[in-house]
Amino acid sequence: MRYSRYSYDDLSFNEERGPEGFTALHGVAFLGVAEVVPTLLDMKEWDANAYDCVGMTALMRAALRGHEEVVKIFLGLEDINPNQADTNYGRTPLSWAAKKAHEGIVKILLERKDIDPNQADTKYGRTPLLWAAALGYEGIVKMLLEREGVDPNQADTKYGWPLLLWAVSSRREGIVKMLLKRADIDPNKASAKSSMTPLWRAIRNRLEGMVKMLLEREDVNPNQVDTISGQTPLSWVAGSGHEGIVKMLLERSDVNPNQADIRSRRTPLLWAVEIGHEGIVKMPLKREDVNPHLPKDAYYHRAPVGGSQRRHERIVKMLVERQNVPTTMPDNANQTPLLPAFF
């Protein structure tokens, strides 16, 4: 039986006879009274693996509350199931300990060979490692990553986000740094339900520090196209006006500064010209491999954004000074390369 007004962190004892299914064994585990646990176990009146009124075992309650001595006692039982999950969230004792930042209990549980460190909960589909990373518990992340058999690229089953993507999305720089030092981490692994990679998430959230760390990995793909917008990271940041990230991307020799969007056919340079961002226009023009010609099939909206119909003389000058700029040849929209800078 499930009582919705009971939480996993606390219990109400307003009923005359107490909550149904909540035994003395659950009570001492909840309160952390380690001295009484052996006596109750010797009575053999209660199953140590039995669920209480909200679907938790005594071991889970002790792990959730951080009672290390009680956890040790239960783990010493021959018939204890250390991987048993609760009936509501589907979390194991290790998952609860990791989520609640109980490092001591995580360590105790991981010392058991029969503990499954990759077991995800059923409600959110996250492993203990994913919970610890998302919540920023660096010590627990470190312990879990040191455990043999832990998969650092395992994604949650609800959103399909891998570990590194969770750490970036949660803005856990210390954990991101820790993960990127591992050779077995795939820095380009995207969400299973979208093309969102850790680099894309860091860029969209304008997290310069994380973008820098990710781009320092040689195997990070800086040209990976977002399937929703059809843009490369460079194209997106050029159009959003973020100079710092544009600079970092252009410092990568393998960045393609000429890759046009799949849908609009705009190049990063064209985006910068259209929004009238002089600083960003200047940066790609310094690269010898930048092609200042606009794609012939590019289409245009009002440009530059927020330009208020004023001329952008400095941008025009930069474009004209670049060799081989076709200043007069129009594309199929009957626009020349300099028109976006004038309107």
CA neighbor of 249 nearest in space, from 71, 240, 110, 88: 240
The length of the chain, given as a count of residues: 343
Q: What is the DSSP letter of 261?
A: P
Q: What separation in angstroms does the CA of 4 have from each of 13, 23, 99, 126, 220?
A: 14, 18, 21, 23, 46
Convert 192-203 to b/e letters by CB count within 10 Å (16 or more is b): eeeebbbbbbbb
pTM of the predicted structure, to 2 decimals: 0.82
CA neighbor of 97 nearest in space, from 132, 142, 72: 132
Domain spanning 222-343 has what CATH number?
A: 1.25.40.20
If residue 109 lies in a helix (H) or strand (E), which one and from where to where? Answer: helix 103-110
Q: Which amino acid is residue 18, in one-letter code?
A: G
Residue 197 backbone phi and psi in degrees, to 5: -95, 170
Q: Which amino acid is residue 20, in one-letter code?
A: E
- Local confidence pLDDT in tens for the 343 residues of the chain: 343 444 545 444 445 545 567 889 999 999 999 999 999 999 988 899 999 988 999 999 999 999 999 999 999 999 999 999 999 999 999 999 999 999 999 999 999 999 999 999 999 999 999 999 999 999 999 999 999 989 999 999 999 999 999 999 999 999 999 999 999 999 999 998 888 999 999 999 999 999 999 999 999 999 999 988 899 999 999 999 999 999 999 999 999 999 999 988 889 988 888 888 888 888 988 888 888 765 555 544 433 333 434 446 777 777 777 755 555 545 444 545 555 554 4
If residue 133 lies in a helix (H) or strand (E), which one and from where to where? Answer: helix 128-135
CA distance 128 to 107: 12
83's tokens = 């991987």
Any idea where the domains of the chain sit in the sequence?
222-343
Rg of the chain over Cα atoms, rounded to whole angstroms, equals: 28
- What does the pLDDT read at residue 86? 96
In the chain, what are the helix, strand and coil shares in percent, each to the nearest 5? 40, 0, 60
